Amino acid sequence: MKKSITPNQIKQNNRSLIYHYIYKNEKVSQQDISYDLRLSRPTVTANLNAMELEGLICKNGQIDTEFVGRKASAYSIVANHRISIGVEILRKEVKMIAVDLYGRQMARAAAEIAYEYAASYFKAVCENILEFKDSLGVEEGQLLGIGFAMQALISPDRQKVLYGEILSCTGLSIEEFTRHLPYPCAFIHDADSAAVSEMWVSPELSDAFYLSLSRHLGAAVISRGEILTGKHGHNSTIEHIQLEPHGALCYCGRRGCMDTLCSLSALLEEQESPDDFFEKVRGKEPDFLRRWDEFLGNLARAVNLLHLIYDTDFILGGYLAQYLREDDLAALYEKIRDLTPFSEAQDFLRISKMPRHNITIGAALPFVQAFLNETAWQ
């Protein structure tokens, strides 16, 4: 027997429609809402009044109407009604970013804290996060949660590190942080986090292979707008695909993995910064051009292999993305063309649309998305 829709469900649905309409259009009038959603003016008015009282929306100036000389009150989402914090745990520092309900950066900070699997480390990190939160001037109820981006494989419930050789953090529980933080907390794989930020700025993105070219190599498979983690949580761990059996030693204990050839660690020398390296590359200094060409050659080998397996668009992201130019893509395509049997494979690469702070922002976004999915039903 088909269930009938209750009056309360209709009210909840109307509320959701109105909230998300305002969110999508950013600045709208009551008339816009009523006309586009085909809702009665009393229904729209009642919902607007209720959401304004709750602090979800606010009046935001005036907006032109179809009547000459008349203006109507405009409504917008209160973007900082709720916020989220993303944290990136690195070997020598901790990065933090706060975002609003549009995923826009509100503030960021960093603390030089060397990682160690010790109670004193987790306490120090949490103290810095709380200090950062206090600097934002937000009330207790505004913070949705804190996401921790880790160079590690994460359990499906995002509460435990399953494999973390880079930081020697295998087995780490989110409880090491929640015992100091009175907010919802969750882990996220750093490459997945970067891919989340990419999907946020490219909502039309449905299927792609995201390459996180950072200090270490990572990847994420985006399928039908979702990140595929795999049966055991280690989908897309391409960094451990072996390209050179007798190559450099990888942190996993094997030799010649993609990470030893296609990461920033492979590209840069000890104490060398990406800024300095690419300044020399763009200045056409021979030794740096040679190193960049060699790196692109290794990246072409990796991308060609992966593209033969998964024929989709590839996004070049991670920390390296901010330094990439279209002529770098052209050089990469040329090298791939020498390797692939398919001559048409010349239109599948693009540079990330969020080249900066993608990992840290991506760690914060799942809490924002969950709020947007649920808030209009409360």
Share of the chain above pLDDT 70, in %: 96
Domain that includes residue 177, residue range: 83-183
In eight-state DSSP terms, residue 173 is B
Of 68-82, 90-104, 277-291, least confident by mean pLDDT is 68-82
Query: 163 lies in a domain?
Result: yes
Q: 130 with 94: CB under 8 angstroms?
A: no
Q: Which two tokens stand for residue 287?
A: 């030794």
**Where residue 11 falls among pLDDT bands split at 50, 70, 90?**
confident
Q: Which two tokens stand for residue 34?
A: 């009523």
- Quote the pLDDT of residue 103: 96
Q: Is pLDDT at 234 greater than 90 in this prediction? A: no
In eight-state DSSP terms, residue 247 is S
Q: Is pLDDT at 25 greater than 60 in this prediction? A: yes
pTM listed for this prediction: 0.91
Query: 376 lies in a domain?
Result: no
Crossing angle of helices 7-25 and 41-54, rounded to 10°: 70
3-state DSSP assignment of residue 349 = strand
- CATH code, domain with 12: 1.10.10.10
- CATH code, domain with 87: 3.30.420.40
pLDDT tens digits, 119-162? 999 999 999 999 999 999 998 899 999 999 999 999 989 999 99
What's the number of domains the chain is made of? 3
In eight-state DSSP terms, residue 255 is B
Nearest alpha carbon to residue 237 among 108, 254, 225 = 254
Q: 191 with 222: CB under 8 angstroms?
A: no
Indicate if 211 and 336 belong to the same structural domain.
yes
pLDDT tens digits, 181-213? 999 999 999 999 999 999 999 999 999 999 999
- Quote the pLDDT of residue 232: 73
Query: 275 lies in a domain?
Result: yes
Q: Is pLDDT at 62 greater than 90 in this prediction? A: no
Quickly list DSSP for 115-157.
--SSHHHHHHHHHHHHHHHHHTT--GGGEEEEEEEESSEE-TT
Indicate if 92 and 136 belong to the same structural domain.
yes
Query: How far, in Å, are 241, 292, 333, 346 from residue 299 at the CA level?
Result: 13, 10, 10, 15
